[in-house]
Chains A and B, each alone.
Chain A
Amino acid sequence: AQSVTQLGSHVSVSEGALVLLRCNYSSSVPPYLFWYVQYPNQGLQLLLKYTTGATLVKGINGFEAEFKKSETSFHLTKPSAHMSDAAEYFCAVGGGGADGLTFGKGTHLIIQP
């Protein structure tokens, strides 16, 4: 069984400030980890993913995340927030096969001008 916990249903940061969105997972198999972004009335767009190899992964729009096995975490960061980053962010875990993803409940990122 797999599960994802995203800490904070809403996160508010000032434009230009650091963005940190937290994700912890549980998986009985080596996990594949994903961050997706969802803009209003849109589908999900992949930001970045961890499958194997380097634990620090870089994605689109300046986002990155680090896989920490000992902490079962996969937190998403961006050094400087932009107004266009305002959206819903979902962390997801997969089992390494094409079984489908288990998603967290999402974090709504608010950017203050």
Chain B
Amino acid sequence: EAGVVQSPRYKIIEKKQPVAFWCNPISGHNTLYWYRQNLGQGPELLIRYENEEAVDDSQLPKDRFSAERLKGVDSTLKIQPAELGDSAVYLCASSLDEHEAFFGQGTRLTVV
């Protein structure tokens, strides 16, 4: 069974440019999470989806970040415009229940 797939793996952009990350969760997993992991830190939750509904986006910086999960499967996280401080690894995870979340390999974003 395929795991959580994220693309791209690496992205370098100039500040003020837009960027988008894509996530394909494990088939059948209704819950999808986006986390941000700053260098030397643990992941921090940005947004959680139950099917296509964003049920917790309290930590998502809504002035520049947006996310969507069309048809309750794939999800896209967008930043526009990007700032230097957005450099981090963006992790997508999915789960079937509360007992375990499966993580993708992440997208490493560098804003220059």
Question: Which A residues contact B (CB, under 8 angstroms)?
Answer: 4, 9, 32, 34, 36, 41-46, 49, 51, 90, 92, 94-106
Contacts and interface: CB of A to CB of B under 8 A. Distances in A.
Contacts of B101: 46, 100-101
A34 B43 CA distance: 13
B40 A43 contact: no
A10 to B, nearest CB: 11
Contact of A106 (B40, B50, B104): B40
Contacts, number: 63
B99 to A, nearest CB: 6
B100 A46 contact: yes
Interface of B: 4, 31, 33, 35, 40-45, 48, 50, 56, 91, 93, 95, 97-106, 108
B106 A43 contact: yes
A46 B100 CA distance: 8
B43 A44 contact: yes
Contact of A94 (B43, B56, B98, B106): B98
A38 B105 CA distance: 10
Contact of B108 (A34, A41, A92): A41
Contact of A97 (B98, B100, B108): B98
A21 to B, nearest CB: 13
